[in-house]
Amino acid sequence: MSHRFFSSTRMPAAPMAIGVLLLFANVTLAGQRPVARNWTPSRTAWGDPDFQGVYTFSTLTPLERPNALTGKGSYTEAELAQLEDQVSEQRNVEGELPTPGDPGTYNNFWTSNEKGKLTGRTSLIVEPEDGRKPQLTPQGQKTRQALVAEAAARRVGVPPFVHTLYKTWQDHPAFTRCLSRPMPRIGQSYNHGIQVLQTPGQVVIHYESMHDVRVIPLDGRPHLDPAIQQWNGDSRGRWEGNTLVVDWSNFTKKQEFEGAPQGTMHIVERFTRIDAATINYEITINDPATWTRPWTFSLPWRADDPSYQNPEDLYEYACHEGNYRMMEDSLSGSRALQQGETGKK
């Protein structure tokens, strides 16, 4: 079995130096989306396109296009090759044994061997064309400001020693409370495996992280009543040729995606198998309460990562087992910090 991280302790995302991205800031190319390479997927016994298998959605391509790459949608083959070489060199450095007494990069032992690949585009966002999320609506700005202010009010100390205070367990986000992790999932640095299973009339997606399972019916049934809101929303799917289209709604406002409560979000997913090892996953986010227009991002689900080849490669996500001490320490540490701050006044 491959060695990868299996608890919910946070780890740094796989690094991709901004300097690498700045190398080609003066080149402008049109953005490109993955296209089918004259490849037709196999069929299940009941005739649906066969998407079954184990995949990873990890990628080093950022969600939004860096400002230094304004107007540039994708890299040339030569630029991409140079970027990949630099990423490979960075992985080699991370994998080196630390000097005695230095914990170094030992956490890399628990992560996927590849930590994602570059897609060839400068951002996962393909619409708007500038590769960035649309502007916030007035309501979205107000919500964002409230969230930022709430977070700032719970911070003490001065950089680089800034700490977040937790008065109760409810101050922790749903993720660290082991309740839920935002959907859709984007390029996280660990536990980024997925298994797709199919039965007549249903597609099932099992996420390694949070051991979440989405059962997507294909029989045309309506969504649940809008009053019924769920951590992972309510999915309804259909086939359009070889593409699985999923209409996704009924999210709880207690969950956030990209800094916005999901309660009013409507998402459309499009899954298209473009070769034997790749599903192109395209997601359109529509939330008039938050953004001034819908926006779309696209990323590959890959079956060519040696760390994700079989169902047994998906670790049990032992979230509570890994986080119970974190909860205790964060509360006791916050009390100590508050007492220290009070003593200073």
**Could you tell me the residue ranges of all domains in the chain?**
18-320
| Average pLDDT estimate for 248-262 | 94
Question: What confidence score (pLDDT) does residue 20 get?
Answer: 32
Calculate the average pLDDT of the chain.
Answer: 83
Show Cβ contacts of residue 215 under 8 Å, excluding neighbours closer than 6 positions: 202, 204, 235
Please count the other Cβ atoms lying within 10 Å of the Cβ belonging to residue 256. Answer: 17
| Average pLDDT estimate for 235-252 | 97
Question: What confidence score (pLDDT) does residue 16 get?
Answer: 33
| Average pLDDT estimate for 286-298 | 97
Question: What confidence score (pLDDT) does residue 230 get?
Answer: 96
Question: What confidence score (pLDDT) does residue 69 get?
Answer: 94
Question: What confidence score (pLDDT) does residue 54 get?
Answer: 96
**8 vs 135, residue with greater confidence:** 135
**pLDDT exceeds 50 at position 150:** yes
**25 vs 328, residue with greater confidence:** 328
pLDDT in tens, 70-97: 999 999 999 999 888 887 777 666 555 6
User: At 36, is the pLDDT very low, low, confident or very high (cuts 50, 70, 90)?
Assistant: low
| Average pLDDT estimate for 47-73 | 94
Percent of the chain exceeding pLDDT 90 equals 54
**pLDDT exceeds 80 at position 53:** yes
Lowest mean pLDDT among 124-133, 191-200, 335-344: 335-344
Identify any residues that bridge with 271 across adjacent strands, giving them in sequence order.
244, 281
CA distance 245 to 238: 5
Count of alpha carbons within 13 angstroms of residue 324, beta-carbon side: 3
